[in-house]
Amino acid sequence: MLSPPFSRSRGRFGVVGVLALALLASGCTVANSEYVTGGGAGGLRIVLPQEPPTLEACQSSLTATGVVIRSNITEPLVERDADSGELRPKLATAWEQTSDETWTFTLREGVTFTDGTPFDAAAAAFTIDRAVNSDLGCEVEGYVFGDTDLDVEVVNDTTLAVSTPEPDPILPLRLSFVEMVSTRTSATEKVRVPIGTGPYRVADWQAGQRLSLESNPSYWGDAPAYQNVNYVWRAEGSVRAAMVTNGEADIATSLAPEDGAGELAVAYRNNETTALRMQSDEPPLDDLRIRQAVNYVIDRNTLVRSLFENLATPAGELIPEGIVGYNPDERVWPYDPSRAKQLVDDARADGVPVDTEIRLIGRTAQFPRIEETIEVIQNELEKIGLNVKIQMMDTSTQLTYQIRPFPEDTGPYLLMIMHGNQAGDAAFTLDQYMLAEGYQSSWGTAEFDSLIDAAEALKGDDRQAAFEKLWPYEQEKVVQYAYIAHMSAILAKSASVSYQPDSATGDEMRLAEMSPVS
């Protein structure tokens, strides 16, 4: 009566045995996989915040993709020096403007792709057609070329002519974003793994776990110092930092000051600038005085000192030093709360509805301590008599407010943005953020538009001088933005690796510049 009718062993099997069997049955692939750490003999280990969604070369303007492939697996015709902004030869050895609309490139000889096909003018033409003129919907097409199609002509094996419908003084710079791929690449579909000419090629990609590169034995240039490179990804900044301090990784990127990398942390300028964009088509933000008041009441020095730990500098324009068009005599709005309050009071006296609720929109995790930054700004705006409500959004939701077409009937809002001009020329910023109808611009003036257009058509010193004048003009006549700070980034680097990050590192981390400390 006390014994159940089924056997005792089956009874236990029901609880523990099922679990144990299921554990075995689920396949110990994870537990058993051998991890070639790549450390020690000739290997380098890098931890990134996220897995690249794809390594398709024409998606290289995506940060997560570009940081792995650009100049590592694939290479462009010319590359931009991150410090000087000058263009340097890569797969092209020389280039010149041969007519108003045409640039002619002389290509490097003796270069082959890792699948054995030669790199020549036909391959370059194939790549440009595929990335810019096709229906693939490549990231680089929209990011760099807008809706402009290029006319590509193979003159001979080592000469390529590229023409634009309108004269384009910075075409070589734009082409520095097009990573060359083998002619065996599908022209009708995006591919996950590119075949390039770079110092590395993909050895093994275990989706979700790690990505391994090995050096390209037939590389045309100097062989890189590391034979193998392993990328892994961890979402938590503190874990990434700990991996370097713990000896599990050699380099960790995208860290915040509080992530704990300690003395292994390296801060570097990263071309990113934070700013509040003012949606100026609705009251009270359509009143110039209110927009000026917002500018006067942001205490940039205190933000930089206390929240950004001095890893940033107060900004008076949307691009930092090193970008063509940067104004070295940058004027930063002074912190003057009483002046700001006076401006708001004046506007109120004139019947401007200053009590209208204004949303202050931030993107979660856009930069370290964004929440605190937003709170400080809200507090200051409240003090001068504006009615400001904070709204934090995730990336996708925030982007609906950042890019056209903007949502309608949403009331006035201030939008925190962070802009990184990785192309090195102010035109990429001005077109999007400053033209009245720019994709990320809430308003502008016809006069400002014509000044921008005129500046962008110029070359050399004239171009620089014309761009420089645009920034003070924007501050005085347009005031769409309250610039906050030129930012810095932090990476953690093991003492055994020699590497000097530069302003392009966040988008293009060149493995060939890394070497073991001897």
Partner 1 sequence: MTGFLRRRAFTSLLPLIAVLLGVFFLARLTGDPANLYLPVSATPEQRQQFIERNGLDDPVWAQMWDYLGGVLRLDFGESLRTGESAATMALRAFPATLQLAFSTMLIAVVGAVVIGSWAAYRPNSLADRISGFLSMTAASVPDFWFAVIGVWVFAVGLGWLPTSGVTGGMASWVLPVATLVIRPLGVLTQVVRGAMVSALSAPYVRLARSKGAGDLRVVTHHSLRNAAAPALTVAGDLMVGLINGAVVVETIFGWPGIGKLMIDSILGRDFAVLQACVLLTAVSIFVLNILIDIGYALLDARVREKVPA
d(CA 230, CA 67): 13
Distance in Å, CB of 45 to partner 1, minimum: 11
d(CA 438, CA 328): 25
The one-letter code for the residue type at 239 is V
Our CB check for partner 1 shows the closer of 2 and 349 to be: 2
- Residue 485: strand, helix, or coil: strand
Distance in Å, CB of 398 to partner 1, minimum: 9
Our CB check for partner 1 shows the closer of 9 and 156 to be: 9
Distance in Å, CB of 252 to partner 1, minimum: 10
Our CB check for partner 1 shows the closer of 357 and 394 to be: 394
Work out the angle between the directed axes of helices 337-349 and 370-383 (0-180°, nearest 10).
60
Distance in Å, CB of 250 to partner 1, minimum: 14
DSSP secondary structure letter of residue 428: H
Question: Residue 213, Cα to own-chain centre: how many angstroms?
Answer: 22
Our CB check for partner 1 shows the closer of 135 and 408 to be: 135
Distance in Å, CB of 52 to partner 1, minimum: 9
Cβ neighbours around 24 below 10 Å, total = 9
Cβ neighbours around 277 below 10 Å, total = 23
Ramachandran quadrant class, 474 (left: phi over 0; alpha: psi -120 to 50; beta: rest): alpha
d(CA 126, CA 374): 47
Our CB check for partner 1 shows the closer of 329 and 409 to be: 409
Distance in Å, CB of 166 to partner 1, minimum: 16
d(CA 433, CA 414): 15
Distance in Å, CB of 46 to partner 1, minimum: 13
* Residues 6+ positions from 448 with CB-CB distance below 8 Å: 434, 435, 436, 470, 473, 474, 477, 478
Binding interface with partner 1 (CB under 8 A): 2, 4-6, 8, 10-11, 14-16, 18-20, 22-23, 26-31, 33-35, 37, 50, 53-54, 61, 135, 137, 139, 141-143, 146-147, 190, 192, 207-210, 232-236, 238-239, 242-243, 245-248, 260, 394-397, 399-400, 402-403, 431-432, 439-440
Strand partners, 392: 362
- Between the alpha carbon of residue 60 and those of residues 63, 98, 226, 274, 511, the distances in Å are 7, 28, 23, 23, 16
Distance in Å, CB of 397 to partner 1, minimum: 5
Nearest to 493 by CA among 505, 484, 504: 505
Distance in Å, CB of 245 to partner 1, minimum: 6
